[in-house]
Amino acid sequence: MLTIAMPHCGLAANSTSGGEVVERELLSRVAEQGVDPHILRPAWRGLRWWNSPLYFRSVIGACVRLHTPRLIRAHSLRYAGPATIAAKRQYGLPLVAHFHHLERDHLSWLDRWVLRHADLVTTDSEFSWRQAQVFRINALVIPLGTSLQPITPIPLNRLVLFMGGNKPRKNLPFLLNLWPDVVRRVPDARLVIAGPGHWLPRTDQEIRTLYQRVRVLAFPSCLEGFGLPVLDAMAAGRPVVCSNVTALPELGARRTLPLDPLEWVDALVHYLTDDGACIRDGYENWIRASAYTWERTAALMVAAWRKLA
């Protein structure tokens, strides 16, 4: 049994935040492969990058005394990262750091500082690997997964789904600005906006059902280290219109486009009015998504952890 200390900032059951989804999906699967993961998460609100080291340092210390982990893993770099570096130094524990992408903001230095102190860095895509290489950080690429669903018939409705938070990088205003042009050509088209800060499904099953009930996913994000909503829509057998920047082209969705409003309007109208195109491209997306499973992700993660431990 490989015991690992995993300080983390959240595991809400209905969160669509990429970091929380990854942890939820991996926990049970790594346990099946002989890993005892100890998730250490805050019991109070108000955790910030500047006060989290004190909190996490105490809970990591308790975990070390009670469970004797063989390594420590930092996923929430800005929150748990500094405390994991302190634990590495104090207890001699190897440190694994995982990141999805690197942002350019006032705390980007903190991400890089944690990654440089890690004994092993893992990430999700070739794009994020290249980001790390810019700062001379070597990372192991382990693609994320999805739960492949049986293909259900394309619905006759005209529902387009946006799944994402309200962060600027999700680029929702781009979609809202072009939407009136879509409605002019398809008057009964409707846009469903879901994710943190918007309407939020309560369970993973509700999220899967939502993908099955809509006709197409629109995902104009400007920065993704992987793109779980795109892969989940592909796994549901739905067509996707997504941007062709950062990690999204690696998933191979049929309509991966530059952020040109005219091209997006044409693509969305095409899927809203052509059942045959929806069926063909949805099936092709489903086939491509079948290469990505959480079981494979967990197996690769555990293999890397065992090698380090």
The token pair that represents 275 in the structure block: 């059942």
200 in any annotated domain: yes
Query: Do 195 and 276 belong together in one domain?
Result: yes
Query: Do 241 and 189 belong together in one domain?
Result: yes
Query: Do 182 and 261 belong together in one domain?
Result: yes
Structural domain span for residue 29: 2-144+293-308
222 in any annotated domain: yes
16 in any annotated domain: yes
Give, to the nearest 10 degrees, the angle between helix 228-235 and helix 18-32: 60
Query: Do 74 and 187 belong together in one domain?
Result: no
151 in any annotated domain: no
The residues facing 193 across adjacent strands are 162
Query: Do 215 and 302 belong together in one domain?
Result: no
At which residue do the structure tokens 């690997």 appear?
Answer: 129
Query: Do 200 and 131 belong together in one domain?
Result: no
Per-residue confidence (pLDDT) for residue 8, from 0 to 100: 79
Per-residue confidence (pLDDT) for residue 203, from 0 to 100: 78
Query: What does each C-alpha distance from 21 to 16, 42, 66, 73, 297 come to in angstroms?
Result: 6, 17, 27, 16, 13
270 in any annotated domain: yes
Query: Do 125 and 16 belong together in one domain?
Result: yes
Whole-number Å distance between alpha carbons of 158 and 268: 10
154 in any annotated domain: no
281 and 255 in contact (C-beta within 8 Å)?
yes
Query: Do 140 and 6 belong together in one domain?
Result: yes
State the CATH number of the domain containing residue 266. 3.40.50.2000
Query: Do 60 and 167 belong together in one domain?
Result: no
Per-residue confidence (pLDDT) for residue 42, from 0 to 100: 65
Query: Do 197 and 117 belong together in one domain?
Result: no
240 and 253 in contact (C-beta within 8 Å)?
yes
Q: What is the pLDDT of residues 11-29, one digit of tens each?
A: 666 666 777 788 888 888 9
Domains of the chain: total: 2
Query: Do 27 and 133 belong together in one domain?
Result: yes
Per-residue confidence (pLDDT) for residue 74, from 0 to 100: 93
Q: What is the pLDDT of residues 230-264, one digit of tens each?
A: 999 999 999 999 999 999 999 999 999 999 999 99
248 in any annotated domain: yes
Q: What is the pTM of this model?
A: 0.94
65 in any annotated domain: yes
Per-residue confidence (pLDDT) for residue 15, from 0 to 100: 64
In b/e form, how buried is each residue of 168-196, taking b as 16+ CB within 10 angstroms?
eebbbebbeebbebbeeebeebebbbbbb
pLDDT mean by block of 10 residues, the chain; 309 residues: 86 68 87 90 70 86 95 91 94 96 93 97 98 97 93 95 94 98 98 89 84 97 96 97 98 96 98 97 97 96 96
Query: Do 134 and 48 belong together in one domain?
Result: yes
